[in-house]
Amino acid sequence: MYEVEMKVRVDHDRIRTRLAELDAVPTGTVRQIDTYYDHPVRSFADTDEAFRIRREITTTDTATEERDTTRVTYKGPLVEAESKTREELETTVGDEDTFAAIVEKLGFEPAATVEKTRERFQCDEYTITLDTVTGLGEFLEVETESASIAPAREGVVDVLSRLGFTPDEQIRRSYLGLLLESSES
């Protein structure tokens, strides 16, 4: 399965009207804390891969209860130049601390942490996300999962264009890459 995605920098207040015009359905807001790991014998930066543990905190409708979920994700290298498409493998983990300890015992080392708040919307089979990333600012992502890349990419481009953006405006770097790049300058 591939995650087909395009991301642009955007002012969230400006885009909300467009989301309403598309009849995008709000599906909730989550806070995510992603810890990325370095492989013990190869450089993920060189191979364009990523391995992370994600803690996701979802506030329920009552705004008094929170639900925690932890997932582990492997992301393969980008597979095409037209979008930010990668193979993605993901599963839930029952005990974040124990899993992190196992990963570190196997030689993986924490490399960086990315924190963001994500406001999600659904538009047909596409997820539209307004991301506020600590240290980077506001972004819009349009994504879908598919076994077939080209039709999925065309659909993502269509949604992105209906929101007022072109594929030429997309950012193909991950938030991790953008954060690391900004810390080097």
| C-alpha span between 50 and 169 (Å, rounded) | 24
Q: Are 53 and 72 in contact (CB under 8 A)?
A: yes
Taking a C-beta distance cutoff of 8 angstroms, is the pair 131, 141 a contact? yes
- Token reading at 183: 């810390």
H or E element, residue 9: strand 2-9
Respond yes or no: is residue 36 known to be catalytic.
Answer: yes
Closest CA to 176 of 2, 49, 30: 49
Specify the 3-state DSSP secondary structure of 184: helix
Residue with tokens 């960086």: 112
| Catalytic residue (one of 2, 36, 37, 126) | 36
Which positions are annotated as active-site residues?
Answer: 36
